[in-house]
Amino acid sequence: MGMTMTQKILAAHAGLESVTAGQLIEAKLDVVMANDITGPMALPIVKQMSDKVFDRDKVVFVPDHFTPNKDIKSAENSKAIREFAKEQGLSWYFEQGKSGVEHAILPEAGVVAAGECIIGADSHTCTYGALGAFSTGVGTTDIATGMATGELWFKVPSAIRFVLTGKPGPYVTGKDIIIHIIGKIGVDGALYKSMEFAGDGIANLTMDDRFTMANMAIEAGAKNGIFPVDALTEEYLREHTKKEYSIYSADDDAQYDEIVEIDLSEVRPTVAFPHLPGNAKTIDEIEAMEPIKIDQVVIGSCTNGRITDMRKAAAILKGHTVHPDVRVMVVPATQKIYKQCIAEGLVDIFIDAGCAVNTPSCGPCMGGHMGVMAAGEKCVSTTNRNFVGRMGHVESLIYLASPEVAAASAIAGCIANPEKVGDK
């Protein structure tokens, strides 16, 4: 019986010729990552298991959720992983001011590569599937086990194959596509399954599109999302990493629970309404409604804080002013991206339009600091979750969208069609 991409990677890391869906395996790990929320909780467990991490080149800490530290507790958490990283001599510790958001900095810095088996103590660790890696989020005990032993048990997931065809239209990005897909299959439509993307339409997606789509695989309940390695992926890998990597392809006779076909030319700019990423509505449906007035816009995060996202938002905002009733936060995902924004004049565009440009951080995404919302407020955000209370008060409302929809909405003061703002 043939195997999917994910199954081939897991088989290789378990030292097995083949695996099947539902099989329990023990796999060797290439990267184990935690942040300033999850890392400190794992440290006592790691210390009970071993005096040192299994490999100082494969354990990674990124303080990004509550940095710059918002209070004493967050400062203590960051101090804990900082001191542990120094004590263990870790090769990869990404300090505030020298890095950025974990799921943007790891690919950018060359920490992750194709064919690897990666775990992170953050649910959006599935981002690295864009590079053709098996990458998934795990809990504190599992991350501690991975740090101490370099191995972890997995149940091999079954898979859904998403066959992408056609070319996205103007103002349609990876964010629109993945919200469209989650709207189609539901937030539990891929529960503990691998979302395997295929089809000639992939060639029409940028690497940033793919990172966004893999990032949000967890929002459909998936164990991971994964893209095939093509010429564009290899170009990215050559530019960003010195690591050797392996390329795995699904067998022709691989077994899938379902095959879903998506014609990218038919996808419209799409917004996820409160309170689920699967509550998808096209911009055409939204324009047929009464205007949805907003109070806040967030452009950034591990989902949409990359340089192409910044460029797309700036292209919409250029020459415009943010609506007087709206506040906008722009958060580049890494310091490198921030510098690119400065060099390309994007920061000037954002500030001239009336946006606050903030230091690389998870910031507003999970309501920790920077942009916490009050009761009744509405936000259009390029982040990945819009659960109740995600950005602050339980009575606030979050609408997930692409950078272009977010920027257009910032100008209009309500959820707006970037096609119309962009044409002005």
DSSP character string of 194-257: EEEEESGGGGGS-HHHHHHHHHGGGGGT-SEEE----HHHHHHHHHH--S--------TTB--S
Task: Write down which residue in 213, 247, 264 finishes a domain.
Answer: 264
User: 364 or 324, which is more confident?
Assistant: 324
Q: At residue 150, what are phi and psi to the nearest 5 degrees?
A: 80, 10
What 3-state DSSP class applies to 34? strand
pTM for this prediction:
0.93
How large is the average pLDDT for residues 80-102? 93
Q: At residue 396, what are phi and psi to the nearest 5 degrees?
A: -85, 160
Note down the domain range covering 288: 270-422
Amino acid sitting at position 142: D
Regarding whether 222 and 80 lie in a shared domain, the answer is yes
Confidence of residue 369 (pLDDT cuts 50, 70, 90): confident
Regarding whether 284 and 249 lie in a shared domain, the answer is no
Q: Which residues of 160-180 are buried (b: 16+ CB within 10 A; e: fewer)?
A: bbbbbbeebeebbbbbbbbbb
Confidence of residue 367 (pLDDT cuts 50, 70, 90): confident
Regarding whether 290 and 253 lie in a shared domain, the answer is no
pLDDT at 177 over 50: yes
pLDDT at 49 over 60: yes
> Which pLDDT score is estimated for 407?
97
Task: Write down which residue in 264, 286, 311 finishes a domain.
Answer: 264
What are the pLDDT digits (tens) for 190-223?
A: 999 999 999 999 999 999 999 999 999 999 999 9
Regarding whether 278 and 219 lie in a shared domain, the answer is no
Regarding whether 13 and 129 lie in a shared domain, the answer is yes
pLDDT at 125 over 80: yes
> Which pLDDT score is estimated for 57?
96
CATH number, domain of 229, equals 3.30.499.10
Other CB atoms closer than 10 Å to residue 140's CB: what's the count? 18
Contact present, 396 and 295 (Cβ < 8 Å) = no
Confidence of residue 364 (pLDDT cuts 50, 70, 90): confident
Q: At residue 108, what are phi and psi to the nearest 5 degrees?
A: -60, -40
pLDDT at 185 over 60: yes
Task: Write down which residue in 231, 264, 297 finishes a domain.
Answer: 264
Strand order in the sheet with 194-198: 224-226, 194-198, 159-165, 258-263
86 Cβ contact list (under 8 Å, min separation 6): 93
Cα Dmax for the chain: 62
Q: What are the C-alpha distances in Å from 315 to residues 173, 210, 213, 381, 423?
A: 14, 21, 22, 17, 11
> Which pLDDT score is estimated for 423?
47
Regarding whether 400 and 257 lie in a shared domain, the answer is no
Regarding whether 347 and 379 lie in a shared domain, the answer is yes
